[in-house]
Chain A
Amino acid sequence: EVQLVESGGGLVKPGESLRLSCAASGFTFSNAWMNWVRQAPGKGLEWVGRVKTKTDGGTADCAAPVKGRFTISRDDSKNTLYMQMNSLKIEDTGIYYCSTRIGDHWGQGTLVTVSS
C-alpha cells in the first residue's frame, strides 16, 4: 500500500523557517517525481513545486510565489521528500501536501501557520 506521510508543520512567525518532510512507502520512491501542493484556508489547490528523479537530473522547480524562499530536495536512501521554507510570509499559511507526479497518491497534509 502506498503511503505518504507529511510532517514538520507548525506555527511560526513571519520571516522564520520550517522544514517539511514527506515519508514515502509502498512504491519505488527513487523512481518517482514528487510534488508539493498547498491549500490556503478556504482556498483552492496551489502547485508549490516538484523534484525530478536522480535519473532525470534530480532538479527541483518551484512556483513563482515561493521561488528563492523554498527549496525542494529528496533523500532516496530514506525514501523522504523535503521542502525547506525560509522567509515565511503570512500568505504561506495553509495545508501542505506531498503527492506523486500525477497525483495518484497524496499524503494527509501538514498545517503551516505563519502569524505574528
Chain B
Amino acid sequence: SYELTQPPSVSVSPGQTARITCSGDTLAKKYAYWYQQKPRQAPVLVIYDDNKRPSGIPERFSGSSSGTMATLTISGAQVEDEADYYCYSVDSSANHGVFGGGTKLTVL
C-alpha cells in the first residue's frame, strides 16, 4: 500500500512563513499536488506538478519536492490562508490516487 503523511497541524503568526510537509514513497517518482480547503467549501488546487502555481493563486504559495518529501510553503502567511491543506499523488502505475491526511493551518 502507499500512504502520504502530513503533520496534523501547523501554526504561524501573520507574515511568517508556513511550511507543510508531505512524505511518501510515491513522491520519489510522482508529482505532488496541494489543495486548500476552507470550511464548507470544495478544495482548491494551489500547487500542481510539485511546484507549479495555477493562475489566480497568490505568489506566496510555492511548492518543492525532494526524494520522498514534498513541501508546501506559504511565504508571509495571511489570516485568509487559514484552512486545511491536503497533498495528493498517485501510485507508481498511476492507477490509484492517494491524499495525505490533511494539515490544519492556523494563522494568528
Contact = CB atoms under 8 A, between A and B. Distances in A.
Interface string A101-112: 011101111000
B63 interface: no
A109 B101 contact: no
Contacts of B42: 97, 106-109
Contacts, number: 49
B96 A44 contact: no
A95 B30 CA distance: 27
A23 B10 CA distance: 36
Interface residues of A, number: 18
A61 B99 CA distance: 16
B10 to A, nearest CB: 15
A44 B48 contact: no
B54 A104 contact: yes
Interface of A: prevailing SS = strand
Interface residues of B, number: 21
Contacts of A21: none
A103 B96 contact: no
Given A102-B33, A102-B45, A106-B43, A44 B102 contact: yes
A27 B33 CA distance: 21
A46 B95 CA distance: 15
B98 A103 contact: no
5 contacts: A44-B100, A44-B102, A103-B45, A104-B54, A106-B42
Which 10 pairs, one residue from A and one from B, show the smallest C-beta to C-beta distance? Answer: A47-B97, A44-B102, A106-B42, A45-B99, A61-B95, A104-B45, A103-B45, A102-B48, A45-B86, A44-B101
Given A45-B37, A102-B33, 15 more contacts: A44-B86, A44-B102, A45-B43, A45-B99, A45-B102, A50-B97, A61-B95, A63-B96, A99-B43, A103-B33, A103-B43, A104-B45, A104-B48, A104-B54, A107-B42
Interface of A: 35, 37, 44-47, 50, 61, 63, 97, 99, 102-104, 106-109
